[in-house]
Amino acid sequence: MYRFYINNITNDYHYSELARVFLADDEFEVIGIRLPGGRLPLRDCSFIINREGSEDRDEIKREFYRLLSGLTGRDPGWGTLTGVRPLKLAYEMLRESGSVSGMEKFLADRYLVSEGKISLLREIVEYQQSVLEGDPSSRAGLYIGIPFCPTRCEYCAFASNVATEDEIAAYFDNLLREICYTGRLAAQHGTILESIYIGGGTPTTLKADQLEVLINAVSEAFRTDPSGIEFTIEAGRPDTITPDKLSVMKTLGIGRISINPQSMKDETLRRIGRDHTAEDIRSGYRLASEYDFDVINADLIAGLPGENENDFRATLEEILSLGANNITVHTLSVKRGSRLREHDPEYYRRDTDKVSAMVSFARERLREAGFVPYYIYRQKHQMGALENVGYCRPGKHSIYNIRIMEEKQTIIALGAGGIGKVYYPEEDRLERVANVSNYKVYNERFDEILERKNNYYK
């Protein structure tokens, strides 16, 4: 085991997070110390960082990063950054320096970010600046969670459940009450929505008549026309897509849906717990194309168990041919609460070069196909310490996705698993307003859930 003694620190959190990029939890220990004269007897595999006693965290992390890189032979492209929102930091650097070149220099010098990752951030910044207008804090986003799926995926840690029709109906009734209650609050306080996103889970687990009631309830409660706002409904599982559901969404003005294959390899779909085939995905896309939605999003995952580079390439090529115009390339994250984490908690540390090649291929192939990167985020326990990137054909971006990562807008979240955030622009501060994640607890504590909605307007 490595022991890293870091001089002149009071909290080891940030340094332990950096060490986890390179080493498993049982391979290292970070120990904060106060060195007498900068000296300490060391055993094998023990190191002292920050002998001079600097109080600059970034300076200490740079020294630590270089040591870790030398010990492991790895040089992760994100340098000393371990947070989930690298673009938010890039914008802070842009404002501080006053120029894109200044932003790039800050990222390289202060955080040791690689040229490739800086280039990716620059592309996203330039695209967002070309399409976004106005003050994001003047409007709000609305998220509604439908926490049900036909089956649970091996890698999933979201609030998604396999439930009976009666359980779904009971949840749905309470969700409608929450929508009406929150809509009244929003009207009283003059809240104007910029985007609406119905996610999950799989919202198209609902029946067609339930989707119709839901869309109409949102429209009435928040006094908005679905055709006049960015309104997205995830139809992630192709085995939940039917003509009557698509017809309801299109007729009521929904312009954006997601059909998320993750992979087009049948063996992989079985392995990760999906109860459908690649042909079902093709059928879903062909059916959706008949309804002429403005945006069809697809989510792909690099690093799924058993897949090689050719499998990932084949999936991306087929999704392009099926007509998706907004594609998010995720790098597999082994999340706490997922079955994959239970079965193989160190999975994310293996085959990282292979997964990096998948992600690099996606970036080049999508650029070649006319897509641009428009948002980015990272997760813990992500293979190769990589990232998730949303690509779109110009103009087909998701404002909701951008705002979530930007963190300068209030997001009202309804339903089980929803985590809302109130933005206070004067303080540049967010305050969480969380619902419970379990749909049964949501039903049991529903009066409390309603009361929490008042926290958006304290």
| DSSP calls for 331-367 | EPB--TTSHHHHH-TTGGGSSHHHHHHHHHHHHHHHH
pLDDT at res. 339: 72
3-state secondary structure of 304: coil
| Domain definitions of the chain by residue range | 2-72, 86-131, 136-444
pLDDT at res. 250: 97
Interstrand relation of 388-392 and 410-414 (parallel, antiparallel or unpaired): unpaired
What is the CATH code for 136-444? 3.80.30.20
Helix spans in 1-56 (H): 13-22
Calpha distance 208→210 (Å, rounded): 5
> Six-digit token pair at 341?
């984490």
> Six-digit token pair at 66?
């270089």
For residue 370, count other CB atoms closer than 10 A to its CB. Answer: 12
3-state secondary structure of 49: strand
pLDDT at res. 156: 64
Q: Is the dihedral of CA 323, 325, 326, 332 positive or negative?
A: positive
Q: What angle do CA 371, 376, 382 make, to 5 degrees?
A: 120
Calpha distance 439→169 (Å, rounded): 11
Kindly provide the b/e burial profile for residues 180-217, where b requires at least 16 CB atoms within 10 angstroms of the residue's own CB.
ebbbebbeeeebebbbbbbbbbbbbbbbbebbbebbeb
Calpha distance 212→194 (Å, rounded): 21
The residue behind tokens 């999704």 is 319
Spans of the chain below 70 pLDDT:
37-39, 152-160, 336-337, 341-342, 344
Calpha distance 242→235 (Å, rounded): 10
> pTM of the predicted model, to two decimals?
0.94
Calpha distance 280→277 (Å, rounded): 5
The residue behind tokens 């058993």 is 306
- Length of the chain in residues, anyone? 458
pLDDT at res. 337: 64
pLDDT at res. 149: 85
